[in-house]
Amino acid sequence: MSVVTEGTADAARTAASGETILSVNDLVVEFPRPGQPTDFRAVNGVSFDLRQGETLGLVGESGSGKSMTALSLLGIVPAPGKIIEGSINLRDRRIDNLPVNELRKVRGNDIGMVFQDPMTGLNPVRSIGSQLTESVLRHQDVSKQEAIELAFHALDDVGIPSARERLEGFPHELSGGLRQRVMIALALINHPEVIIADEATTALDATIQAQILDLLRERLSSATMILITHDMGVAAEICDRIMVMYAGRIVETGTIEEVLTSPRHPYTVGLLSAVPKFDIRRPKLVPIPGIPPTAEDIVRGCPFAPRCRFAETDCDQRPPLEYAEDRLVACWHPRLASERKK
């Protein structure tokens, strides 16, 4: 999917101005590395606010910390990883330090999740209806029959054909696109305040991907959502604001229009240059050289410096996330508008 500013849905919209629903402050997630001098920081000092009605995009390559940030919000960081610093607040309630039984009440009720692979989020040996009704009965004070009706309407609302019959079916009986629709229904059924969509269209072919994007736009047009993707084109279709992540850190954040039209961080510039463009008049695809740092790499300076054509000697120090003209950028040499005009 190509990234263009003309023709993308609501490309000129600005970030939502509603109240803050979710606040993440200096979040650090570490995984132990036995025998190594330091542990691996999968998420390293991430902070952001999510406002009511806003769709925030988390963009970056695989391993940049996007999904681990999302799992932290739900309290499901895979062992032996754990949150060691920072806080997560849902409205005025801190949720990162809740007991397990309290966290279960938050998942699905306050925060819903659409996983990349539906077979990860759906139990393959249980019927679709039983999984939907279980979620309803866990979070809503209704009878079993009422829960079944809510499950039926949830499937019908996301465009599942023969929705009532599908309640008795199993995930493996559905196509990938229909399974993803079930995941969206499961995420929405209890009307959570925040929806997290983690690479929700990555495993689908182009036609089904477009259908799921249309569904997300339609069903979540007024929702508060975090969209995790490596695809700038998908972010352009859905998001109001975007955070670009690299090596566990935020390297740039701004409105979708700002980031697409005038990227500041060299990594953001590289991501946009690497997007296929179906226009022979435009420059050819330009890949980002090198590879992101791995868990074995100890990075003391700017983690992007080894891949950056603008790197200089001062890049051996880690740059802070601070304003460069109109937005936050973690770079000693951001691509400023005044420089690009020269």
The span from the CA of 179 to the CA of 131, in Å, is 13
The span from the CA of 29 to the CA of 77, in Å, is 8
SS3 label, residue 284: coil
- Domain chopping of the chain, boundaries: 20-110+193-340, 123-191
Instruction: For 131-190, write each residue's pLDDT tens digit.
Output: 999 999 999 999 999 999 999 999 998 888 999 999 999 999 998 888 888 988 998 899
Q: What is the mean pLDDT of residues 266-291?
A: 77
Those residues whose C-beta lies under 8 Å from the C-beta of residue 315, and which sit 6 or more positions away, are: 301, 302, 305, 308, 332, 333
pTM score, whole prediction: 0.86
- Sign of the four-CA dihedral 57, 62, 66, 71: positive
Which pLDDT belongs to residue 280? 59
Instruction: For 66-87, write each residue's pLDDT tens digit.
Output: 999 999 999 999 999 999 999 9
The span from the CA of 32 to the CA of 274, in Å, is 33
- Alpha-carbon distance values, 330 to 173, 174, 249, 251 (Å): 46, 44, 9, 5
CATH topology for the 20-110+193-340 domain: Rossmann fold (3.40.50)
Local structure of residue 316 (DSSP, 8 states): G
Nearest to 183 by CA among 113, 230, 88, 133: 113
SS3 label, residue 30: strand
Instruction: For 8-24, write each residue's pLDDT tens digit.
Output: 334 333 344 579 999 99
Those residues whose C-beta lies under 8 Å from the C-beta of residue 16, and which sit 6 or more positions away, are: 51, 52, 53, 54, 224, 240
Partnered with residue 20 across adjacent β-strands are 51
